């Protein structure tokens, strides 16, 4: 005899779902994460069903208190969530029926798991995005604090990982602040995009029961309600936006990680990461490895992967809901865990790292980093830039041959290359004067970086989570 069909749709079926098919299609092992959103949603929905006379006031109250009890049980790990009930929605419905009997069977009237899951996922992303924004603010604050603390530290700025021009370490930190500020804007956008309630769209065509969608949205904390039921149940743009915001954030964190890795090499020796955020080797006693930064760089891959994954899931789907869309959640959950994990590491890792100020300063002195400044000097003496470039190029070649730094050239030596050099030429050759001369909005002069810090502090205060 065939196994008894325990599914909610057993009416139409003669045979039970094959065990392997059940295992293959069940999502409860990960979508249990949505239990709070699902129950909060069901509670609000039960109240609406009173308006439509599907439930009496007393029935709704019973359902609500049973759902509240189920919420506590699941949170305490005391509820049995079964694979055979497929997903969190069916499991909660089954728990409800177990608790209050036939009354529990009334709750799903007019609703579908299609509008239900879309609503849950939007609630989840809204909540997690707020968490991420708060963590981002903490990271921004640490970067701005570090910028403030290091206003006197000069380091080589790089292009092509070749020493280019001197910059303040503060300016470097503030560059990351700018990236994380843009990330914040993207998460705020995700919040807006997720703030639209699909509930009331039914399976695809809307619901004939007269629920007040606006009131429902208000109760669930949604700013708006969706305007087309077909779109509402089959739209995952907000999840893609979320994964995209996470991907960009991870890309920035990965770049910062890469710098921490390079800077803490013996060769660079610009920083030393704290023991708290490094690990040793099981074989080489001397090792101190920047694993947290490396893992951040590595974990960026999976977040990108889930973004491309979901874009690909969605690209061929006809309207409206298709089961493919169940594939949306694991990526979103993984991205949440990854981003929150990394963001919980970085503030501490940055705050505790030691900056080798002398090493940075010395590095900024070697490598002809003020060659551009020397060319600009000539430009101010009316030499066309291209000519000035050529002249200074020759000076650099001369210095290289005679193994000396630009800074130590005398006026006499400079004059051999151009008559335009005068007594004030040697003054502009230090890293300090090069940095100080970039006194323009966005430039690395201390004045400007201080202004940038001020602006950043204001933004951090005003940016809404």
Query: Which residues are known to be catalytic?
Result: 160, 281
Are 141 and 148 in contact by the 8 Å Cβ rule? The answer is no
CA 238 to chain centre: 14
Joined together, the tokens standing for residue 327 give 């594939």
Cα(402)–Cα(455) distance, integer angstroms: 46
Are 438 and 432 in contact by the 8 Å Cβ rule? The answer is no
Min dist CB 120 to ligand ARG, Å, is 9
Cα(277)–Cα(221) distance, integer angstroms: 39
What are the phi and psi torsion angles at 419 (to 5°)?
-70, -20
Min dist CB 109 to ligand ARG, Å, is 16
Min dist CB 336 to ligand ARG, Å, is 16
Given the complex with ligand ARG, which of 313 and 345 has the nearer CB atom?
A: 313
Given the complex with ligand ARG, which of 285 and 318 has the nearer CB atom?
A: 318
Q: Please calculate the CA angle 339-272-430 and round it to the nearest 5 degrees.
A: 110
What are the phi and psi torsion angles at 109 (to 5°)?
-60, 125
Beta bridge partners of 279: 289
Q: Which residues contact 149 (CB under 8 A, 6 or more apart)?
A: none
Given the complex with ligand ARG, which of 178 and 330 has the nearer CB atom?
A: 330
Are 206 and 200 in contact by the 8 Å Cβ rule? The answer is yes
Q: Please calculate the CA angle 24-91-10 and round it to the nearest 5 degrees.
A: 70
Joined together, the tokens standing for residue 427 give 């003054």
Min dist CB 321 to ligand ARG, Å, is 6
Cα(247)–Cα(192) distance, integer angstroms: 18
Given the complex with ligand ARG, which of 117 and 184 has the nearer CB atom?
A: 117
Min dist CB 354 to ligand ARG, Å, is 48
Given the complex with ligand ARG, which of 26 and 129 has the nearer CB atom?
A: 26
Are 100 and 63 in contact by the 8 Å Cβ rule? The answer is yes
Pick from 224, 24, 198: nearest CA to 120:
198
Binding site for ligand ARG (CB under 6 A): 27, 87, 113-114, 117, 321, 323, 325-326
Given the complex with ligand ARG, which of 34 and 383 has the nearer CB atom?
A: 34
Joined together, the tokens standing for residue 399 give 């210095």
Joined together, the tokens standing for residue 245 give 């915001």
User: Between the CA of residue 390 and those of 372, 379, 384, 394, what are the distances in Å?
Assistant: 11, 12, 10, 6
Given the complex with ligand ARG, which of 323 and 427 has the nearer CB atom?
A: 323
Cα(346)–Cα(376) distance, integer angstroms: 39
Joined together, the tokens standing for residue 262 give 């390079």
DSSP H helical segments within 28-112, as ranges? 28-31, 35-51, 57-75, 88-100
Cα(451)–Cα(369) distance, integer angstroms: 25
Please give the full DSSP string across 375-409, using - where no structure is assigned.
HHHHHHTT--HHHHHHHHHHHHHHHHHTT--GGG-
DSSP H helical segments within 276-327, as ranges? 291-315
Given the complex with ligand ARG, which of 204 and 428 has the nearer CB atom?
A: 204
Min dist CB 137 to ligand ARG, Å, is 32
Cα(8)–Cα(242) distance, integer angstroms: 32
Given the complex with ligand ARG, which of 88 and 153 has the nearer CB atom?
A: 88
């Amino acid at each position: 005899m065939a196994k008894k069909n325990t599914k909610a749709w057993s009416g139409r079926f003669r045979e039970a779902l094959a065990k392997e098919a059940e295992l293959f299609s069940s999502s409860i092992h990960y979508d249990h994460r949505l239990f709070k959103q699902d129950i909060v949603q069901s509670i609000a929905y039960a109240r609406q069903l009173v308006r439509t006379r599907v439930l009496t006031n007393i029935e709704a109250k019973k359902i609500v208190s049973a759902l509240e009890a189920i919420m506590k049980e699941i949170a305490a790990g005391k509820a049995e969530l079964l694979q055979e009930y497929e997903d969190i929605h069916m499991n909660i419905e089954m728990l409800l029926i177990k608790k209050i009997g036939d009354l529990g069977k009334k709750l799903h009237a007019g609703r579908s798991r299609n509008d239900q899951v879309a609503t849950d996922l939007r609630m989840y992303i809204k909540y997690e995005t707020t968490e991420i924004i708060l963590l981002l603010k903490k990271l921004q604050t640490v970067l701005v604090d570090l910028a403030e603390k290091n206003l006197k530290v000069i380091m080589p700025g790089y292009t092509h990982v070749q020493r280019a021009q001197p910059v303040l370490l503060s300016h470097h930190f503030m560059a990351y602040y700018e990236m994380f500020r843009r990330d914040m804007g993207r998460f705020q956008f995700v919040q807006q995009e997720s703030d639209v309630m699909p509930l009331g769209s039914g399976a695809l065509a809307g619901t004939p029961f007269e629920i007040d969608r606006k009131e429902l949205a208000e109760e669930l904390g949604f700013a708006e309600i969706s305007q087309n039921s077909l779109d509402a149940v089959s739209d995952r743009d907000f999840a893609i936006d979320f994964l995209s915001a996470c991907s960009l954030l991870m890309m920035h964190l990965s770049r910062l990680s890469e710098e921490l890795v390079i800077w803490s090499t013996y060769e660079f020796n610009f920083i030393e990461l704290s023991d708290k955020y490094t690990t040793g080797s099981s074989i080489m006693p001397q090792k101190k490895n920047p694993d947290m930064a490396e893992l951040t760089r590595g974990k960026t891959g999976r977040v990108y992967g889930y973004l491309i994954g979901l874009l690909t899931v969605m690209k061929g789907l006809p309207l409206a809901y298709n089961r493919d869309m169940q594939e949306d959640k694991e990526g979103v959950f993984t991205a949440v865990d990854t981003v929150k994990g990394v963001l919980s590491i970085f503030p501490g890792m940055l705050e505790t790292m030691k900056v080798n100020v002398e090493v940075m300063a010395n590095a900024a002195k070697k490598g002809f980093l003020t060659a551009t400044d020397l060319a600009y000097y000539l430009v101010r003496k009316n030499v066309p830039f291209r000519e000035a470039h050529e002249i200074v190029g020759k000076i650099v070649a001369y210095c290289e041959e005679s193994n000396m730094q630009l800074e130590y050239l005398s006026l006499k030596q400079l004059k051999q290359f151009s008559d335009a050099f005068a007594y004030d030429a040697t003054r502009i050759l230090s890293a300090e004067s090069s940095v100080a001369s970039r006194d323009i909005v966005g430039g690395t002069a201390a004045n400007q970086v201080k202004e940038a810090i001020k602006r950043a502090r204001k933004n951090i205060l005003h940016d809404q989570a």
